[in-house]
Copies of this chain bind each other. A is one copy, B any other.
């Protein structure tokens, strides 16, 4: 009386992944989330199978349980994937206004950097018109050990990511560049504690930069927003003032980016 596998229709897309994909699409299509039964009907899978697959997706983080209700939505891990696969273009369009606000206020170059694999690269920047070219062209790789923008991001990455980033040898750009992995790790912890990063003369002598992480609800930190300038110019402002502005800009940007995906705020299933 038990049930073996179905006759395996020759034409249908077979494989487990096909079923997962089916479920994901069904869930993504609904704005308000779906119950198990709805998913089961929408996909044509049996209740047992649906239940198991759903739980697998939940465990992996591709779906969210929405607190304990039996309503499933797209989960944080998928959102992270989306952002990872996201090209600079969108972000660039979305953050331009924010960057320009910073430029208007401080008269220096402002930019957004993004985690891309084990590197951080600049994805959008705005410079005051008085400068012919900014220090930070989009696409530039920001080293983990010498750029505030990179530090602000890596400080909030899970251990394995940091480990892989530190696998490559650290370049000593200036006298003040930190090249000792242990020291750098310690420094990153400070950054995480403070909530922002500072780099003075670590990448280029005489250049000062600040950066704040952009926290994406559900997806952790994948971006940072920062300001670079010659030290003597930027020092005209209080550090606290700059940080406050950046922090505010980060929050604003987060909102704009967050809008990209509909999902519920839930990093962990509240224990």
A→B interface (CB under 8 Å): 13, 15-18, 20-21, 24-25, 28-31, 56-57, 59-62, 74, 77-78, 80-82, 84-90, 93-94, 116-118, 256, 259-263
Residues of B within 8 A of A117 (CB): 29-31
Tell me which of B20, B90, B263 contacts A260 (CB under 8 A): B90
Query: In the assembly, how many copies of this chain are there?
Result: 2
Chain A binding surface SS class: helix
Q: A29-B117, A85-B261 are in contact. Are A17 and B57 (CB under 8 A)?
A: yes
Q: A90-B94, A93-B256 are in contact. Are A60 and B21 (CB under 8 A)?
A: yes
Residues of B within 8 A of A18 (CB): 59-60
- Report A66 CB to chain B, min CB distance, Å: 15
Besides the contacts A21-B60, A25-B81, what 17 more A-B pairs have beta carbons closer than 8 Å? A15-B60, A17-B56, A17-B57, A18-B60, A21-B61, A21-B62, A24-B81, A25-B80, A28-B81, A82-B82, A85-B262, A85-B263, A86-B260, A88-B259, A90-B259, A90-B260, A93-B93
* 21 pairs, CB–CB < 8 Å, chain A vs chain B: A13-B59, A15-B56, A17-B59, A18-B59, A18-B60, A21-B60, A24-B81, A25-B80, A28-B81, A30-B116, A31-B116, A74-B85, A82-B85, A86-B260, A86-B261, A87-B261, A89-B259, A90-B259, A90-B260, A93-B256, A93-B259
- Report A77 CB to chain B, min CB distance, Å: 7
